[in-house]
């Protein structure tokens, strides 16, 4: 396994991993919020926008001989947010409950926006490899902790994060939606770096 930085030709994979990690969040926010708009289209724009924290240069992909099997999108928490145009496009009832996910920043923290691993290779250390890599990125950026959001009922992800040293700081309730695959609140987690 090796980790490499994302590039423009990775857009399709990056959008796939963003959707996988969001588990319905992006569909809830973007699908049909504007006539013809889809979450895939909105995320592809973000991945290609060099001013976006979701830009491919903030993405790292795990590759094996069979192809890409995991993804990390991470950046200093100060960069967390959505482009202003998103706030003008999305209906208030969709964006307002989710604002804390995009606006709550912890100083000196490195934010893991996306950590996703293909189901076929889960349990083989890819998630831990990406967390170790994120820790290295954080230290090289002068950050003293990692932060991320995780669904409160995503037991597999929470088990990995808690074993790594993440602790819950906050719960964010999202309105029920057919697009969301989880019924539990989103948790803001933090892991201090030694």
The answer to whether the CB of 158 falls within 8 A of the CB of 193 is no
Does the pLDDT value for residue 126 go beyond 90? yes
Quick one: average pLDDT of 89-103? 85
* Structure tokens that stand for 169 in this block: 């700081």
Q: Are 106 and 150 in contact (CB under 8 A)?
A: no
Asked whether residue 91 carries a pLDDT value surpassing 90, the answer given is no
**Over the chain, what is the mean pLDDT?**
92
The answer on pLDDT for 8 being more than 90 is yes
Q: Which domain holds residue 127?
A: 2-192
Our count of domains for the chain comes to 1
Provide the 8-state DSSP code for 76. Answer: E
> Strand 109-117 to strand 145-151: parallel, antiparallel, or no bridges (unpaired)?
parallel
3-state secondary structure at position 63: strand
Task: Kindly state the DSSP code that residue 185 receives in the 8-state scheme.
Answer: P
Phi, psi of 53 (to 5 degrees): -65, -15
DSSP letter for each residue of 87-154: HHHS-HHHHHHHHHHHH---TTEEEEEEEEE-GGGTTSSHHHHHHHHHHHHHHHTT-SEEEEEEETT-
Q: Could you read off the pLDDT of 136-174 as tens digits, one per residue?
A: 999 999 999 999 999 999 999 999 999 999 999 999 988
- CATH number of the domain residue 167 falls in: 3.40.630.30
- Chain center to CA of 109: 15
Confidence of residue 93 (pLDDT cuts 50, 70, 90): confident
What number is the average pLDDT over the span 22-33? 89
Q: Confidence class of residue 64 from pLDDT cuts 50, 70 and 90?
A: very high
From CA 72, how far away is CA 131, in angstroms rounded? 8
């Amino acid at each position: 396994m090796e980790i490499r930085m994302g590039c423009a030709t990775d857009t399709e994979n990056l959008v796939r991993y963003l959707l996988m990690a969001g588990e319905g969040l992006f569909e809830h926010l973007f699908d049909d919020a504007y006539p013809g708009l889809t979450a895939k289209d909105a995320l592809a724009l973000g991945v290609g926008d060099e001013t976006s924290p979701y830009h491919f240069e903030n993405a790292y992909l795990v590759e094996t001989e069979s192809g890409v099997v995991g993804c990390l999108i991470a950046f200093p928490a100060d960069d967390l947010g959505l482009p202003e145009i998103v706030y003008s496009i999305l209906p208030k009832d969709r964006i307002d409950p989710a604002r804390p996910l995009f606006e709550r920043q912890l100083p000196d923290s490195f934010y893991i926006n996306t950590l996703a691993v293909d189901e076929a290779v889960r349990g083989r250390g890819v998630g831990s490899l990406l967390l170790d890599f994120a820790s290295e990125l954080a230290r090289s950026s002068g950050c003293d902790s990692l932060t991320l959001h995780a669904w409160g009922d995503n037991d597999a992800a929470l088990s990995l994060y808690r074993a790594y040293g993440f602790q819950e700081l906050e719960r964010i309730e999202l309105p029920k939606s057919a697009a969301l695959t989880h019924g539990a609140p989103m948790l803001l987690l933090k892991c201090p770096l030694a």
